[in-house]
Amino acid sequence: MAHAENEITIHRSPLDVYAFLADGLNNPKWRSGIQSISLKSGTPGTVGAVYGQTLTGPGGRPIAGDYTITTADPGKRLSFQVVAGPARPAGEYHLTEVATGTVVHFILDLQPKGLMKFVEPMITRTMRAEVDQLGNLKNILESS
């Protein structure tokens, strides 16, 4: 299984962090590699909302990375499933209130099948780079 996770403390309330993460239109503000994103259906930040996004793939080629929100527990947990593109990981943000703000724990998991098993190390590196962008999220939220 391809797996990556990271954790950071952000000096904002869990509800503030959740609101920012739940609106996928905020993703380009803190995640590099997003060429475009839009809300395709549903209400932002709610279960069933589908975001269409185009990501920068290998060699700079655009690849689909649409996702749907699968769990929405404001201030506590936000989960999603990538539903388009070559790799379709499941992701979760777990938010925990602490005295100094919110601990954000970001997890990505993917069970490669078929030929995808041969590129699992590359998928894991890509997922690792994705969860490592939590520092960008911290900078954005603490400066606004």
From 54, 44, 52, 47, select the one nearest 22 (Cα to Cα): 44
Which range of residues forms the domain containing residue 114?
2-143
pLDDT at 57 over 90: no
Stated pTM of the model: 0.93
Specify the pLDDT at position 86: 86
Average pLDDT over residues 37-41: 97
From 129, 58, 62, 61, select the one nearest 89 (Cα to Cα): 129
Specify the pLDDT at position 87: 87
Local confidence band at 117 (pLDDT 50, 70, 90 cut-offs): confident
One-letter amino acid of 55: L
Average pLDDT over residues 39-55: 96
In total, how many domains does the chain have? Answer: 1
User: Where residue 52 sits, what CATH number does that domain have?
Assistant: 3.30.530.20
Average pLDDT over residues 124-137: 94
- The whole-angstrom separation of Cα 51 and Cα 125 is 24
Average pLDDT over residues 123-129: 90
Local confidence band at 62 (pLDDT 50, 70, 90 cut-offs): very high
